[in-house]
Structure 1
Amino acid sequence: MEDGELTKHEVSKHLSSLGRSATGLQHVYLSLSIPKKSLKNLSILSKYIHLQKLELPNNQIKDLSCVSHMPYLLTLDASHNEISDFFGFQPPKNLKEVNFSHNHISSMKDLSAYTSLRKLVLDYNFISEIRGLENCSSLTHLSMEHNKILRISGLKNLKLRQLCLKGNLLRKIENLQTLQSLQILDLSSNRIQSMSGLQDLHLLGSLNLESNMIGEIKEYTYVQHLLLLRELNLKRNPIQEQPDYRRAVTFILNQLSVLDEKPVTVEEKVSAVNKYDPSLETVAARDHMTQIVYQYMQPQRIFDSTLPSLDTPYPMLVLTGPQACGKRELAHRLCHEYSDYFGYGACHTTRGPYFGEEDGCDYHFVQEEEFENMTRMGQFVQTMQYDGNWYGLSREAIERVAREGLACCVHMELEGVFSLKTSHFEPRYILLIPTKTESYVSHMKARGFYTNDQINKAVSRIDLYAKTNRERPGFFDSVILSDNRKEAYSALRQLIKEYLGLEEQEKEGGRSTGVTPQNIITDEGGNSTPARKLEANTTDAYSQNYHSKVHARPLPQKSSAELASIHRRQQMVRDALVGKIPRAYTQLFKRYAHTTSSLLTPHSHTAGHNEDSSSEESSASSGLSMNSSAVLSVGSPADGLDAGSGSKVEPLDVSLLGQNLEKLKDHMEPGLSPDSSHSIPEQATVVSSPGRPGSKTKPILPPIPLGRKSAEAASKQQLTGQAGQGDEG
């Protein structure tokens, strides 16, 4: 080569790929590659008409007119030269790939004649506008990195699969909606602030937006529905300064496998879903954990609503359903009619009261700060957030009802039900669900309390309740249609009567709506007689199905030693829970004036017994199984802990244990030991409701043996009888 002119000798050294010519009549060399030779003049190549591949990178070439004499040329690489004329030659008929990167090209011309062109690389030039490619129907790869392009244009209806516009001056993404075949898009190192314009690229699999100006998480919603998007690069964007950025993007684009050039793990995807759209079970578990942790940080005490025995947990009734389905109204009516059995448990909420709602009666309306303080003090059993407001069922709401010897009736949304099911309570859950959407919407609009968004959300949640009931058999104990409030309450009332074992009787002159006390039954003659024992229906269809499945399932055989060990451990636990411990410890507990456990003690006490002797005798007979309204303090022994009823726990003096035992022996009937209990007369009512198999479910709602009004009536009757005896005397 002399002065950059290519010679025949130099060409002969770089020819390769011997093969047949395009006509098939002779053998020729098909490829020529001469890199880094400082070439300027290529006129000699006009004679090599059979070349199919020509590579001349890293030279000083300005003129490629010799290519006009190569009709069979397929691939041309003229990168890193000094070419300023874009395609300054006659087009070879079948030219497929052209690389003009790192040249001096400033503008593009019409390439309509290049119908076979598939790949065009124009990186590192001075092009400011994309044009002339409209008729390149075969073009699938276009790369124009580091030019001066201000906007995307000239690509309409092309069959591009890969487009690279890295390092230009783009400010927004536009005119790409017609590129339906696009799979790889590189828009890095531009000035793009929004991802709008990508939502129609349904085949897009890789997107590079590194070094742009995207700063909002919400921008990723534009590519949320691109189901084939697997790789996304957002490095060096302002959005990376957002807290928890990676988890947020992973949640919005859960189909990603690579984010910011790092693989997205399964753990990251699960963590993102649990944070931004957790399942109801996850929310319930998290809420339960929160309440338990805060509760254990407080001084421990024994509550009235703790389990009174192994077989009978504290009875609760939960009405659930979508917003404004009538659950609060029905709960109030039920508690009013069956006031001897149920008490209304008012939840706390941070929302404002609607018209007609009373603080303390319907809800406890509190500020969000107070709600948070109550949560940190461990005062809630469960909490949930709905429509931007917090709702919580406090322990005190349940205790207030339990202290009166009543079952607690509450209402809540589905999230609250999931949370309550994780606690130790085992309520009956009744679903109230509307089926007539138009009537339901009309009712909500007529109340005038709800916005259109709230109404639409409530309507959409009907399907959520129905799906939960359909996919989780036994999750709700019963389902009642709430389209007609009167019919819904009738169904609820009948259901409650079945739960409680009550009977409605036809009487002369009217229909009795009262309830039959559990210690009274009606004989065949219609006269009321003392009941020996109230037999409750201990099984239902669900329990029977469960039993049949369990018994049908083969269980692993245990050895006799294992069975004996399990039996001993279970017996020890039962003995501890039912109160088989020295009766002297019962002196630590204080009892309320009225007690629902009085049915479990003999009623044959005479009027001659004084108050102290009757208290000690009942203590000796009941042990730790007495009324759970007692409070056990774990605080300072000297100060005690307020039980909510004014009673204090006295410190235990070990030296007095022997005296207390002797004192108990003096008051006991002959033949009874301190550990023995009084026999229960046949007339006393003993309600035993064995639990439904499985956790958090019961076959019946355990009835309250003696309600508030019944206790008061019995005390008044006793006082009247004593007064009558005094008059006769």
Structure 2
Amino acid sequence: MEEEGKPTENTGELTEDEVSKCLSNLGLSATGLQHVYQFLSIPGRNLTNVSILSNYIHLQKLELPYNRIKDLSCVSHMPYLIILDASHNELSDFFGFKPPKKLKEVNFSRNQISEMKDLSAYSSLTRLVLDYNSFSVIRGLEQCASLTHLSLAHNKISHISGLDKLPLKELYLRGNRIKKIENLQTLTTLQTLDLSCNKIRCLSGLQSLHLLGTLNLRSNQISDISEATHVQDLHLLRELNLQRNPVEDQPDYRLEVIFILQHLSKLDEQSVTAEEKVSAVNKYNPPMEVVAARDHMTHVVYQLMQPQVIFNSTLPSFDSPYPMLVLTGPQACGKRELAHKLCQEFSEYFAYGACHTTRGPYYGEEDGSDYHFVTEEEFQSMVHMGKFIQTVQYGGHWYGLSWEAIENVAREGFACCVHMELEGVLSLKSSYFEPRYVLLIPTSPEDYSNCLRRRGLYTVAQINTAVSRIQIYNQTHRERPGFFDSAIPCDDRGEAYKALRQLVKEYLGLEEQAGENNIRVTPDSASTAELSGESPAAGKSEVDNSLDSYYKNYQNKVQLQLTQRKTHAELASIQRRQQTIREALMGKSPGAYMQLFKRCTHTVPSSMDSRSRPAVGRPILDASEDSSSEESLASSGLSVRSSVGAFSAGSPAEISGAGSGPYVEPLDVSSLGQELESFRDPTKSCLTPDVPRPVPEQVSPTLGTSPARPGSNAKRILPPIPSGRKTAEPSPKP
């Protein structure tokens, strides 16, 4: 009888003793009149019958997970219930109880519920978890005005619906059958969205979720990286997961996604570093400075792989770079037309440098005159052969300035005039060339746009791109003072050329006299007449020796580049070379490299052989007047012919007698400096412009009649645009 009266274990029915053992959190009841236990948690007891809980009306939190409960009607007697957890049970009825007024959080995950019902009576519901059930349609949530967390993971949902205007902040639809993101545009407060383990191919439909911060798309069917552009405007998106999608197999997938979504802090559960963001930008949309640096390095490397030669454009005077004039500005702003016109008018100074391009010729353009039109294969072959100074890709076509274009002009003794876009200017600034940069900028975008349309050569997209680049040029000119040497409005081509013409005349130092013949006097010709002892004729204008502030600034910049980061040995070497050049300009130093080979002082003959004859175009040297030059020749044992004709006063054939002779004192540098200053300043030599100068017995070789290459007769303090192939007047014989 005792065994029959003994209670059976694991009957599935909840008893008062078990309830009393699981109650917790003693507190006041909702009315505040008595003390009650508020929490009850009975997990994993294989319970099937919990009807005894109807007597516990003061419960606020009820947890019954991991049981076999099929009926929760007891909850109808708990009006103060706030949290209900009935996950991992056998429930088939959706909310099969009367709604507690304050119920906020419900967890019915891992049950057997197949249909959602109307929950309009649960106005206080904020969190609803329905994972691992059999729902196929989302419904009944329209009146849940407080619902912020909804989880329907691992159900049978194929379409997103029934969520209009809900105040959701977190939505979890993981592991369903969703193929398309739809009906989410009204969820303006959504911050976290989990759509992993579905069949989604496109990210369209997320554009309006501006507060979205976390997006999980793991294990879907996204195959195109460009789908990330649909969420590009979601600036608060910080975490994105695209693992186990076909797009993950594409090369540089991570960098490209980071470039499209530059505000990400975590991608595929890995933090996005600052280095990755910089690498992504430099790879897919690098700044123009980065493009120019890469372009310059590319051409330097390819050029070093070729046989090395000495270019004419690298052999101007010591201080001045090869003279170039670069016209830059937006597309079709008149750069090429103005460059041609400038080269025609100043034909004794400038020659046009035609660039190479892969685009086809426009109407009126000539191959070799305007551009060198080549194919894509020919252009890339020239790049690999190191034939370009700079290249740039614009509008789907390649443009490049070749070494040959510069050399053809330099060999003729002219300054080179070219035109290019802003990217080409940045690339050219990375090289050792120091051109004058003139910006031609439209001031009216509307007129500029109409001008492009009238030409009929460009599409609407190309016109919009060209107009948008005006702002880039203006911003560069405004934020980087000195980047362009001058800026000229180009709305009126005639006025633009007048301004450009006047600017070039100032660069060249040209002045027109309002006389009969309108004779032009350049600083070079004035210096020639002064050094040769000839005073300018009456009525002719003199060139003022004082330079404007721009030329002085240019001289200071050159000197700063020469002295920047130099060791004491390098500075001493530079000073010796400068002194050598000064002596060469005065005709006192015959050898350009005599300091490199000088070992000791030797004796030289005191007079020249009567049989020696002067070189063509060179004056006869008097040994008594230039003993230091003979000493240099004898001490070096070599005669290196200068490329500019300014470093050599004679040749070995002009000097005879290598035997004994009187000892010759070294050159007095201080006296040369005083003599040079006297040539530059007439007042110090007690001469005036009205009094003719005495003809010196020796004329500087730099004033020969033979044409010299660019920069050979230019002072280092003058602007780097020479006087072309103009020849000086014949020097008087001593």
CA contact (8 A) 2:555 2:716 kept: no
Superimposed CA distance per residue, residues 362-394 of structure 1 (whole angstroms, 9 cap, x where no aligned partner): 000000111101001010000000011000000
CA contact (8 A) 1:346 1:410 kept: yes
CA contact (8 A) 2:332 2:452 kept: yes
Match of 2:270 in 1: 262
CA contact (8 A) 2:620 2:698 kept: no
Separation in 2, partners of 1:621, 1:44:
119
Match of 2:574 in 1: 570
CA contact (8 A) 1:518 1:534 kept: no
Match of 1:407 in 2: 415
Q: How does 1:300-315 map to 2 (within 5 A)?
A: 300-315=308-323
With over 3 angstroms needed to count, the CA separation of the structure-2 counterparts of 1:299 and 1:538, relative to structure 1, is farther
With over 3 angstroms needed to count, the CA separation of the structure-2 counterparts of 1:252 and 1:458, relative to structure 1, is same
Residue 70, structure 1, aligned to residue 67, structure 2: no
1:263: how far off?
A: 0.5
Residue 626, structure 1, aligned to residue 643, structure 2: yes
Match of 1:539 in 2: 549
What secondary structure is seen at the aligned counterpart in 1 of 2:327?
strand
With over 3 angstroms needed to count, the CA separation of the structure-2 counterparts of 1:67 and 1:671, relative to structure 1, is farther
Residue 704, structure 1, aligned to residue 688, structure 2: no
With over 3 angstroms needed to count, the CA separation of the structure-2 counterparts of 1:153 and 1:489, relative to structure 1, is same
Superimposed CA distance per residue, residues 465-515 of structure 1 (whole angstroms, 9 cap, x where no aligned partner): 00000000000000000011011000000000000000122234xx84967
With over 3 angstroms needed to count, the CA separation of the structure-2 counterparts of 1:300 and 1:46, relative to structure 1, is same
Residue 395, structure 1, aligned to residue 403, structure 2: yes
1:681: how far off?
A: 3.9
- Structure 2 residue identity aligned to 1:322: P
Between 415-424 and 566-575, the greater mean CA deviation after superposition? 566-575
Residue 354, structure 1, aligned to residue 362, structure 2: yes
With over 3 angstroms needed to count, the CA separation of the structure-2 counterparts of 1:570 and 1:44, relative to structure 1, is same
Between 70-79 and 681-690, the greater mean CA deviation after superposition? 681-690
CA contact (8 A) 2:94 2:115 kept: yes
Q: How does 1:17-56 map to 2 (within 5 A)?
A: 17-56=25-64
Separation in 2, partners of 1:479, 1:377:
35
Match of 1:182 in 2: 190
Separation in 2, partners of 1:348, 1:245:
35
1:563: how far off?
A: 8.8
Superimposed CA distance per residue, residues 603-661 of structure 1 (whole angstroms, 9 cap, x where no aligned partner): 5369xxxxxxxxxx9x9999464149xxxxxxxxxxxxxxxxxxxxxxxxxxxxxxx99
What secondary structure is seen at the aligned counterpart in 2 of 1:218?
helix
Superimposed CA distance per residue, residues 250-278 of structure 1 (whole angstroms, 9 cap, x where no aligned partner): 01111101000000000000001111111
What secondary structure is seen at the aligned counterpart in 2 of 1:301?
coil
Match of 1:518 in 2: 524
Residue 288, structure 1, aligned to residue 296, structure 2: yes
CA contact (8 A) 1:584 1:661 kept: no
For these two proteins, the number of residue pairs brought into alignment is 637
Residue 152, structure 1, aligned to residue 160, structure 2: yes
Residue 476, structure 1, aligned to residue 484, structure 2: yes
- Structure 1 residue identity aligned to 2:107: N
1:225: how far off?
A: 1.1
Separation in 1, partners of 2:641, 2:157:
85
1:539: how far off?
A: 3.2
CA contact (8 A) 2:702 2:713 kept: no
Separation in 2, partners of 1:53, 1:366:
81
Partner residue of 1:444 out of 422, 434, 452? 452
CA contact (8 A) 2:150 2:170 kept: yes
Match of 2:179 in 1: 171
CA contact (8 A) 1:312 1:702 kept: yes
Separation in 1, partners of 2:417, 2:33:
98
Separation in 1, partners of 2:353, 2:567:
44
Match of 1:298 in 2: 306
CA contact (8 A) 2:415 2:724 kept: no
What secondary structure is seen at the aligned counterpart in 2 of 1:163?
strand
CA radius of gyration, larger in: 2
- Structure 2 residue identity aligned to 1:283: V
Match of 1:123 in 2: 131
Match of 1:581 in 2: 593
Match of 2:469 in 1: 461
What secondary structure is seen at the aligned counterpart in 2 of 1:61?
coil
Separation in 2, partners of 1:339, 1:89:
100
Partner residue of 2:375 out of 360, 367, 377? 367
CA contact (8 A) 2:324 2:721 kept: no
Residue 666, structure 1, aligned to residue 681, structure 2: no
CA contact (8 A) 1:519 1:684 kept: no
With over 3 angstroms needed to count, the CA separation of the structure-2 counterparts of 1:622 and 1:671, relative to structure 1, is farther
- Note the aligned Cα RMSD (angstroms): 3.7
What secondary structure is seen at the aligned counterpart in 1 of 2:448?
helix
Match of 2:105 in 1: 97
CA contact (8 A) 1:142 1:162 kept: yes
1:158: how far off?
A: 0.7
1:601: how far off?
A: 10
1:703: how far off?
A: 3.1
Match of 1:604 in 2: 619
Separation in 1, partners of 2:469, 2:147:
50
Separation in 1, partners of 2:86, 2:216:
27
CA contact (8 A) 1:505 1:512 kept: yes
1:602: how far off?
A: 7.0
CA contact (8 A) 1:374 1:380 kept: yes
Structure 2 stretches lacking a partner, 5+ long? 1-8, 530-534, 585-590, 598-614, 622-632, 673-696, 705-711
1:303: how far off?
A: 0.3
Match of 1:16 in 2: 24
Separation in 1, partners of 2:23, 2:596:
110
What secondary structure is seen at the aligned counterpart in 1 of 2:313?
coil
Q: How does 1:707-726 map to 2 (within 5 A)?
A: 707=725, 710=726
CA contact (8 A) 1:330 1:489 kept: yes
CA contact (8 A) 1:91 1:113 kept: yes
- Structure 2 residue identity aligned to 1:704: P
TM-score relative to the length of structure 1: 0.80
What secondary structure is seen at the aligned counterpart in 1 of 2:314?
coil
Separation in 2, partners of 1:601, 1:160:
96
With over 3 angstroms needed to count, the CA separation of the structure-2 counterparts of 1:573 and 1:312, relative to structure 1, is same
Superimposed CA distance per residue, residues 523-556 of structure 1 (whole angstroms, 9 cap, x where no aligned partner): 7864559x8x984726329939989xx9xxxx99
Q: How does 1:211-222 map to 2 (within 5 A)?
A: 211-222=219-230
Between 70-79 and 213-222, the greater mean CA deviation after superposition? 213-222
What secondary structure is seen at the aligned counterpart in 1 of 2:38?
strand
CA contact (8 A) 2:221 2:246 kept: yes
Match of 1:134 in 2: 142
With over 3 angstroms needed to count, the CA separation of the structure-2 counterparts of 1:260 and 1:679, relative to structure 1, is farther
Separation in 2, partners of 1:298, 1:310:
26
Superimposed CA distance per residue, residues 123-142 of structure 1 (whole angstroms, 9 cap, x where no aligned partner): 00000011111111111100
With over 3 angstroms needed to count, the CA separation of the structure-2 counterparts of 1:350 and 1:68, relative to structure 1, is same
1:682: how far off?
A: 10
